[in-house]
Amino acid sequence: MIVKLTKPAHYGKINNRLTFSQAFEEVSQNPNRVYKTTGNQTAFLAAAKVAGKGRHKGERVIMLLTAGKEKARSYPCCWGHITNCNRTYIDCYKGGRWF
């Protein structure tokens, strides 16, 4: 298992092929599509939702799930960064054709 050092929220930059809105639409239209992470090619699903609570309540979010468990999420403000609002690395999910 690779352990990465914690980085601040919205750390660094990555180039996404799609805008957040385009990715959200694609995930909405293909809820059962299986994606693969970069690196070890772990299969994951993506779910397009609207946050129901917390500081992002009412915002669109793309949830990233492995084996049925949420591993990370991306809000529009997180899009294009290595880490999300919660300092979780999301760059490894760039392997999906939408990210």
- Two tokens, residue 61: 């979010």
The tens digit of pLDDT for each residue in 17-49 reads 899 999 999 999 999 999 999 888 999 999 999
Position 38 in a domain: yes
Residue 27, SS3 per DSSP: helix
60 within domain boundaries:
yes
Q: Which residue would you say has higher pLDDT here, 96 or 68? A: 68
Encoded tokens for 45: 């699903």
Is residue 70 a part of any domain in this protein? yes
51-84 pLDDT, tens digit each: 999 999 999 999 999 999 999 999 999 999 999 9
User: Is 50 among the domain residues?
Assistant: yes
| Domain-embedded: residue 1 | no
With bands split at pLDDT 50, 70 and 90, how would you rate the model's confidence at 3? Answer: confident
Give the total number of structural domains in the chain.
1
Whether residue 15 is contained in a domain is answered as no
Candidates 53, 71, 60, 59; CA nearest to 26 is: 60
69 contacts: CB under 8 Å, gap ≥ 6:
none
Q: What's this model's pTM, rounded to 2 decimal places?
A: 0.90
- Its domain, for residue 62, covers 20-95
Confirm whether 53 is domain-assigned.
Answer: yes
Q: Is residue 75 part of a domain?
A: yes
Higher confidence at residue 57 or residue 92? 57
